[in-house]
């Protein structure tokens, strides 16, 4: 339904929700980065609206990009690149989910 839309810079992995949330928490300023659109066209599958009133909903737009006016001065992002993060999650993700270590790996101590 497009109820919440966050716009991020190209250094953010949009397929990684943690990356998107990090961008929102570190780059969005509530006073300048949030807009609400009211009476946006909705549809019958929208579970957040009353059963008899499924014509319109509202939308939250979040600008989680570096401020354009001073993007050159914006602090450089720290942390691993997307490939390193994916490899780390592949190797150690079982610790987050309570699963088992990949075959051939010894469990973490």
Our separate counts of H helices and E strands in the chain read: 4, 3
DSSP-derived 3-state class of residue 101: coil
The total of other beta-carbon atoms located within 10 Å of residue 24's CB is 18
> Are 49 and 87 contacting, i.e. CB atoms less than 8 angstroms apart?
no
| Global model pTM greater than 0.75 | no
**pLDDT tens digits, the chain, 109 residues: what are they?**
788 999 999 888 898 898 899 999 999 999 999 999 998 888 888 888 888 888 888 999 999 998 888 888 887 777 777 788 788 888 888 887 777 766 666 555 4
Among 38, 59, 35, 57, residue whose Cα is nearest residue 48: 57
* Top-level class of domain 4-97: alpha beta
DSSP-derived 3-state class of residue 17: helix
């Amino acid at each position: 339904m497009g109820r919440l839309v966050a716009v991020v810079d190209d250094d953010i992995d949009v397929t990684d929700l943690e990356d998107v949330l990090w961008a929102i928490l570190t780059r969005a300023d509530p006073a300048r980065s949030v807009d609400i659109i009211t009476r946006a066209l909705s549809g019958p599958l929208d579970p957040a609206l009353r059963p008899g009133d499924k014509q319109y909903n509202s939308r939250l737009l979040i600008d989680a990009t570096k401020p354009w006016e001073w993007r050159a001065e914006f602090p450089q992002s720290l942390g691993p690149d997307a490939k390193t993060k994916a490899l780390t999650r592949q190797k150690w993700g079982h610790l987050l989910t309570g699963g088992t270590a990949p075959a051939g790996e010894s469990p973490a101590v």
